[in-house]
Chain A
Amino acid sequence: MSQDTLFDKVWDLHKVSSLPGGSDQIFIGLHLIHEVTSPQAFGALKDKNLKVKFPNRTVATVDHIVPTDNQSRPFKDNLAEQMIDTLEKNCLKHKIKFFNIGSGNQGIVHVVAPELGLTQPGMTIACGDSHTSTHGAFGSIAFGIGTSQVRDVLATQTIAMNKLKVRQIWCEKKLSYGVYAKDLVLHIIKELGVKAGVGFAYEFAGPAIDELSIEERMTICNMSIEGGARCGYVNPDEKTFSYIKNKLCAPKNKHWDEALSWWKSLKSDENSVYDDLVKFDASKVEPTVTWGITPGQSVGINQKIPLLNELSQNDQFLAQEAYEYMGFKPGQSIKDTPVDVCFIGSCTNGRISDLRVAAKVLKDKKVSKKVTAFVVPGSEKVAIEAKKEGLDNIFKDSGFQWREPGCSMCLAMNSDKLKGNQVSASSSNRNFKGRQGSPSGRTLLMSPAMVAVAAINGKVSDIREFLNK
């Protein structure tokens, strides 16, 4: 059993009771909602004649279903319109703060909460979305929940949950040039597997993590769930505090000083006990690309897609399914794979720093004529900042389409979808069968810089060769 880790401390602080069944009742400090997983929860409240207990502990935005081309209302898609309309009505009725389209603060929920300063160290954060783990980058304990648990948080501000074990993932040294946080997390998932994290919270630590910016740490924590871990976090440090400072909802003046002194006390102790400990050498990580149908099926850019006999017996069945679905031959190189669509965006890599990296690659370059490329800023704030820096023009001049903020083709709930068995180079988080909107569509996950260079070359390429030119 873990002891004195940040996870233990935050868990204990938020524990309301031990439930008769054996799980813990945990107070949720910040509850985030969106249009997809909340309507049924509000419906259940109505059925049970319950109220929202603490409306000011819940914040809403709209992200999954929003169109990224024309956002004027009513939306062309009736069902999408019905969903945003339902959210608007529910928020109004229950007095929940809603950052709607055009507010200047709408966007992907996991981009919005950090940039508003809502996400803070030491909080428990829950949202009906598995990528809630993102917020752990600030030293909060954040996890995805289902709709019934959204109902419970609305009604009680608590959920019933079994305490997780804690695995420390220690990353030595630092990432080499042309290798990004996305590559590191893909590498970790490849090595540990997509189910290793079940039952665990992942604490990311070590010199390589310390070195990362807060937005890079968000990319890492975001994909904890792809490694099976419902929650991932980094102990807060000076970078965390300065990221939050002066944000719209950040504590101000005297409250800032109080917050800071509390936050500084929040970290895993030197001699804390972990349930498990694994180590990685970050300097050995290469630009990493997925070749299969789970985020764990990836290779370094200069490696070959594994042969069946190079894989453990348990992984072979799925590998065979992946070769067939993706149309790859075992032993084939991932480099030079032609791509049809390039997508930059999502809660994994749709932040301003991601757009900056990609724009730097695309400046004065043209996207291959064979490729459809588009960039979807993670939020209205990201879009505004990007325009201020002229990044939108760099993207447009290169041949990228510049879109409005939303989840877009990460999960294709709007009209941004792959067609047929198109291959997409995507900065998102899941390469599941059919994930990007076509039942036979194929997704290659990679960093935004790698997506940008794939767009220019029309094929999967090594960003380091491009940077060294």
Chain B
Amino acid sequence: MKSEFTTPIGKISQISGKCISLIGDDIDTDRIIPARFLKCINFDSLGKSVFEDDRENLKGRHPFDLKENKNASILIVNSNFGCGSSREHAPQALMRWGIKAIIGESFAEIFYSNCIAIGIPCFTLPRKPIQDLQRHNNAKSLFLEIDLKNSLAKSKDLNLNLEIKKSTRKMFLTGEWDATSTLLENENLIDNKLNDLPYLKFNSQFS
């Protein structure tokens, strides 16, 4: 965990950093942050516990422990990353370890929306290019500059067209990913909806 950690705010359009590869499909959020670390009332100390059990198992050989991955900030994963439990503690732990963006073949749904909600853009690429990217990174450390506006990732010898949902990209570029204030702008519409919903009328315990 980095002591200078601050949560992202506002518009996000450029991310650059060293890559870290984590190989495997269906890596679940219990593995990203085991349940015993969920016993907390804030996210502050999660960074050091990311992948705790996997790291313990590999005794220093886990990607998150390798010297060459120190200070990496762009995580490269395979398919269905972040499946299982909805715990936001998982992306929070990754973010507090230093991850600022993730590139993968695919992401589990709740994990993906949690990442948006805390300001971590997730990009996708097909299976083969992801594997090539992981191999490339493992052979010689890869430093990527991601331009969110054009969905491009560049390094000295690579040019990649990353995929990201248009709506998601827009949320990062406008700062809307931090949703609360955008949602609150429609306060009148929310109040109207409350009055319109048929079931609130017959659920008296609620009103």
Q: Which of A's residues lie within 8 Å of B, judged by CB?
A: 13-14, 16-17, 19-23, 25, 27, 29, 36-37, 39-40, 43, 48, 50, 53-54, 56-57, 64-65, 77, 79-80, 82-83, 86, 120, 122-123, 128-130, 132, 143-149, 151-152, 155-162, 194-195, 198-199, 225-226, 228-230, 249, 251-252, 255-256, 258-259, 262, 294, 314, 317-318, 321, 411-413, 430, 432-435, 437, 439
Contacts and interface: CB of A to CB of B under 8 A. Distances in A.
A161 B113 contact: yes
A65 B187 CA distance: 35
Contacts of B89: 147
Given A39-B42, A294-B26, A412-B35, A148 B114 contact: yes
A40 B113 contact: no
A145 B167 contact: no
A457 B108 CA distance: 38
B137 interface: no
B30 A433 contact: yes
A146 B42 contact: no
B65 interface: no
B147 interface: no
B40 A79 contact: yes
Contact of B180 (A56, A83, A152, A437): A152
A80 B40 CA distance: 8
A57 B206 contact: yes
B176 A255 contact: no
Interface in B132-191: 165-168, 170-171, 174, 176, 179-180, 182-184, 186-187, 189-190
Contacts, number: 225
Interface in B14-37: 24-26, 28, 30-31, 34-36
Contact of A435 (B30, B168, B197): B30
B113 A149 contact: yes
Given A21-B176, A158-B186, 8 more contacts: A14-B197, A27-B197, A29-B197, A146-B91, A146-B117, A159-B183, A249-B203, A255-B203
Nearest to A153: B183
Interface string B91-108: 110000000000000111
Contact of A162 (B110, B165, B203, B207): B165
A112 to B, nearest CB: 15
A144 B86 contact: yes
B3 interface: no
A411 B39 contact: no
Given A194-B83, A317-B24, A147 B184 contact: no
B186 A16 contact: yes
Contacts of B59: none
A411 B109 contact: no
A439 B57 contact: yes
The secondary structure that dominates the B interface is helix
B197 A13 contact: yes
B11 interface: no
Contacts of A145: 86, 110, 113
Nearest to A77: B39
Interface of B: 24-26, 28, 30-31, 34-36, 38-43, 53-54, 56-57, 79-80, 83-89, 91-92, 106-110, 113-114, 117-118, 127, 165-168, 170-171, 174, 176, 179-180, 182-184, 186-187, 189-190, 193-194, 197-207
B110 A22 contact: no
Contact of B83 (A19, A129, A228): A228
Contact of A130 (B39, B84, B117, B176): B84
Given A146-B86, A249-B205, A255-B204, A195 B79 contact: yes
12 contacts: A20-B170, A27-B197, A37-B87, A39-B40, A147-B92, A152-B117, A156-B184, A198-B106, A228-B83, A256-B202, A294-B28, A434-B30
A62 to B, nearest CB: 13
Given A40-B43, A146-B86, A198 B109 contact: yes
A46 to B, nearest CB: 11
A432 B31 contact: yes
A54 B110 contact: no
A25 B184 CA distance: 10
Contact of B183 (A130, A156, A430): A156
